[in-house]
Amino acid sequence: MVKNLYHGSSEIIEKPIFGYGKPYNDYGLGFYCTDSLEMAKEWGAGNERDGYANCYELDCTGLQILDLNDEQFCILHWLTILLENREFDVPSGLALEAKEYLLHKFAVDYKQYDAIIGYRADDSYFSFAQDFINGTISYRQLNNAMHLGKLGQQFVLKSKTAFERIRFIGSEVAEGREWYAKKMLRDKSARREYFDTERNKRQKGDLYITQIIDEEMMPDDSRLR
């Protein structure tokens, strides 16, 4: 199966390099793509500068791909991978306890895979995750928040094998004036929806990180589905 992928950047990247990049991204070191050309343009454009949406084809035949949207996973698996790679603010004892619990109970052996499909934690979405481990929002609210702004999914190449399978087919210019503004509007809209409809809207029966820890909930708990 051949998959079309796009990567937003300030430059044209004809040959993604295995082992190159920032290790503190959502899923660690890798080449971060999307299946949306428009989203790649948003990621590529900068404030007062143009960028590029690099276009690729990936031969997925035989690749081991971890899809975090699969029914065997819940959003806490995604959050745990984030905790392993991103720098979280853990100002309280609860946040530290939550981090340790999730890393112990919900860890995913994601490094064995050639590629990963899952949420992308832009600044606003990363703050939603921090609110959850700090006990500010519930599990339901975190799930809902991740769909605000329609950020979509990212496809991350992790292994040398995956890098060998990707083929550059061209690029499109992402004009900074247009696409950076769209990116900022998406982020602003997600934050506004979050504060208007989620952050202060607790519902009866909501599940918080304290209850998850106290009851020693495991990934197969039906309340996490």
Q: Which two tokens stand for residue 84?
A: 């392993």
- Strand 153-157 to strand 31-33: parallel, antiparallel, or no bridges (unpaired)? antiparallel
pTM for this entry: 0.89
Q: Rounded distance, CA 223 to CA 7, Å?
A: 36
CB 138 within 8 A of CB 206: yes
pLDDT tens string, the chain, 225 residues long: the values are 899 999 999 999 999 999 888 888 889 999 999 999 999 999 999 998 999 999 999 999 999 999 999 999 999 999 999 999 987 776 778 999 999 999 999 999 999 999 999 987 777 777 888 889 999 899 998 888 877 656 678 999 999 999 999 999 999 999 999 999 998 888 888 778 777 766 667 788 899 999 999 999 999 999 998
CB 186 within 8 A of CB 42: yes
- Strand 65-67 to strand 153-157: parallel, antiparallel, or no bridges (unpaired)? unpaired
Helices (H) and strands (E) in the chain, counts: 8, 7
Residue 32: strand, helix, or coil: strand
Burial code (b: 16+ CB inside 10 Å, e: under 16) for 54-68 equals bbbebebeebeebeb
- The structural domains of the chain, with segments of one domain joined by +, span 2-224
CB 119 within 8 A of CB 66: no
